[in-house]
């Protein structure tokens, strides 16, 4: 199973914002620069995260984005479910496109479904706070990379 870039980027944005002080604003450009990913992709991600109420977007010259809820309220399983288009691991998981001739009697789809359910159940056990157990190290990495970028620009 592979998560889409959209889900990956959503989790990265949330991680980045959780490393900041609660009231501190970030912007899409700084996050895109930090992760070296597309600003356009992050605009879509932050728009959706804002619609879902996970992040707050403040418009204007001094605007930006920040978490709108505490990291312990951000369930990783829920984020993954919201950001993934589907969980069709194999053709028979999508009834509208299933052309597999053994599908009615195949036992593999049940095994794969059980694995998928277990995968999502594990993700449901974790919050954004849980994945930030090494917050101090992550924050140091964030600040050192920000300093390096400023030196390169200066």
Q: What is the pLDDT of residue 139?
A: 81
Q: What's the pLDDT at 148?
A: 59
Going by C-alpha positions, the residue among 19, 21, 23 that lies closest to residue 31 is 19
Q: To the nearest whole number, what is the mean pLDDT of the chain? A: 91
pTM, two decimal places? 0.86
- pLDDT for 136 equals 83
On the question of pLDDT at 150 being above 80, the answer is no
Confidence category of residue 145, pLDDT binned at 50, 70, 90: low
Nearest residue to 52 (alpha-carbon basis) of 74, 22, 71, 35: 74
Q: For residue 141, what pLDDT band results from cuts at 50, 70 and 90?
A: confident
CA 150 → CA 13, 143, 145, 147, distances in Å? 21, 11, 9, 5
pLDDT digit string, tens, across residues 109-128: 999 999 999 999 999 999 99
Look at residue 154 in the predicted model and tell me its pLDDT. Answer: 52
How many residues are given for the chain?
Answer: 154
Q: Crossing angle, helix 28-35 and helix 39-51, to 10 degrees? A: 130
Name the least confident of 14-18, 57-61, 134-138: 134-138
Predicted confidence at residue 149, as pLDDT, reads: 55
Distance from C-alpha of 8 to C-alpha of 128, rounded to nearest angstrom: 13
Element (H, E) at 138: helix 135-153
Query: Do residues 13 and 32 touch, judged by C-beta distance below 8 A?
Result: no
Rg (CA), the chain: 19
Predicted confidence (pLDDT) per residue in 27-81, tens digit: 999 999 999 999 999 999 999 999 999 999 999 888 999 999 999 999 999 999 9
């Amino acid at each position: 199973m592979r998560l889409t870039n959209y889900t990956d980027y959503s989790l990265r944005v949330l991680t980045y914002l959780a490393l900041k002080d609660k009231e501190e604003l970030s912007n899409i450009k700084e996050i895109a620069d930090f992760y070296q990913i597309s600003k356009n992709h992050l605009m879509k991600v932050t728009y959706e995260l804002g619609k879902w109420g996970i992040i707050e977007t403040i418009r204007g010259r001094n605007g930006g984005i920040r978490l709108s809820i505490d990291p312990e309220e951000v369930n990783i399983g829920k984020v993954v479910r919201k950001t993934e288009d589907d969980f069709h691991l194999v053709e028979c998981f999508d009834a509208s496109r299933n052309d597999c001739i053994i599908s009615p009697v195949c036992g593999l789809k049940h095994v794969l479904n059980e694995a998928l359910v277990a995968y999502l159940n594990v993700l449901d056990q974790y919050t954004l706070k849980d994945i930030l157990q090494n917050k101090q190290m992550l924050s140091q990495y964030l600040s050192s990379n920000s300093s390096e970028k400023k030196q390169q620009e200066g």
